[in-house]
Amino acid sequence: MYLHIPFCRVRCDYCAFATFTDRHDLRSAYLDACRTDIERTVSRGMRTATTVFVGGGTPTQVDPEHLGRVLDAIPLAHGAEVTVECNPDDVTEDLLQAYRRHRVNRVSLGVQSMVPEVLATLGRTHQPENVSRAVEAIRAVGMSSFNLDIIYGVAGETVEQWETTVRAALALDPPHISAYGLTVEPGTPLATDEARWPDDDDQADKYELADDLLAAAGLANYEVSNWARPGHESRHNRLYWAQADYAGFGCAAHSHESGRRWWNVRTPERYIELTAAGESPESAGETLDAATRRIEGLQLALRTREGVPRGVLAEEGLEEFIEVQAERVVLTRRGRLMANEVSLRLQ
């Protein structure tokens, strides 16, 4: 299950998600609408959730007890993974204790960089020292797992600055790190400023540096952009990569069931209105045919360390990018950098 919280204090220059900085007056009504939507869906027979991810936006911008009451409405399977995305500036022991009272057992910190100049270029407002304080709070309350999100390829970021970020993140001994290449999304401030667009070769160098440092620290790559210690892989994201079913709640949230995908209306106002009227917040959807679903499944699987069965990929000429392991084809590190191009050879 995914729950979308669309409120932010400041919108980052690279962000294309459905987030809003001027609608904080809607927070209480919005959370009530989310709980109502969940309760109605449960009453219609929604299965228990094996994972929950609260993302945004900035979930730490809403009252944790009110968010907790929304989470309480979710039927959870035994041992479910429940994650909340957090802005390091907002994390305190009191906040995390409130989350724990409502079954949250994992947090994901939006770190992006540990270099102030790079954070400023991204339009981020937190300070690197707050990341350390947030991790201390996570450990103090006994949270069972956490993730650090970092981004490489920012305009003007040197290799040395990127190495500083990776090493500073590792110094906090996280069980999971997600490292994403900066992407240019249409409609963002970044998209209108071509001088700030990332360079492919620069990103490749930084990816390889990160992989070396993370592997040396005991974090294994299990999907192109994700590294973890054994047992700390994101179960929620693994379900996405396995084409499992998921239910999305909140504005702009996506859902999937047995090849049908649909998504909710984009604004919190409309989501509140429709839920209050007892109507579906669904905006649109699509049903994949079997062939499309199969190829999409293989594309997702190829990104993981388990790879795809031998025979579904035209292997000739891909020696540098793939290797065969027990009749499965997995990407080499070079292949991970070219994952989209390699996936075009799926058949």
Report how far residue 92's alpha carbon sits from residue 107's, in angstroms, rounded to the nearest whole number.
Answer: 12
Predicted confidence (pLDDT) per residue in 72-93, tens digit: 999 999 999 999 999 999 999 9
d(CA 282, CA 301): 28
For residue 196, the model assigns a pLDDT of 85
Query: Phi/psi at 125 (nearest 5 deg)?
Result: -110, -15
- Is the confidence at residue 17, as pLDDT, over 90? no
DSSP 267: S
Model pLDDT for residues 47-62, shown as the tens digit of each residue: 999 999 999 999 999 9
Q: Tens digits of per-residue pLDDT, 230-289?
A: 999 999 999 999 999 999 999 999 999 999 999 999 999 999 999 999 999 999 999 999
Torsion angle, alpha carbons of 119, 124, 126, 129, to 10: -20
Burial of 62 (0-12, 13-18, 19+ CB in 10 A): buried
CA distances from 319 to 30, 330, 334 (A): 51, 11, 10
Tokens of 159: 């290799």
Q: What is the pLDDT of residue 275?
A: 98
Name the phi and psi angles at 155, rounded to 5: -55, 130
pLDDT of residue 191: 83
Residue 166 has pLDDT above 90, yes or no: yes
Domain boundaries, the chain: 2-241, 291-343
Pick the CATH number of 2-241 from 3.20.20.70, 2.120.10.30, 3.90.1150.10, 3.30.450.90: 3.20.20.70
d(CA 99, CA 108): 13
Amino acid in the structure at residue 164: T
What is the rounded CA–CA span in Å between residue 153 and residue 151? Answer: 7
- Asked whether the predicted pLDDT for residue 218 surpasses 80, the reply is yes
3-state secondary structure of 262: strand
Which contiguous run of DSSP H or E holds residue 36? helix 27-43
* Residue 223, helix vs strand vs coil: strand
Report the share of the chain in percent with pLDDT over 90: 87
Whole-number pLDDT of residue 7: 95
At 307 the pLDDT is 97
At 313, list the tokens.
């990929």
pLDDT at 225 over 80: yes
List, for residues 84-139, the tens digit of each pLDDT value: 999 999 999 999 999 999 999 999 999 999 999 998 888 777 788 999 999 999 99
- pLDDT, averaged across the chain: 95
Cα gap 251→4, rounded to integer Å: 7
The pLDDT tens digits of the residues spanning 276-322 come to 999 999 999 999 999 999 999 999 999 999 999 999 999 999 999 99
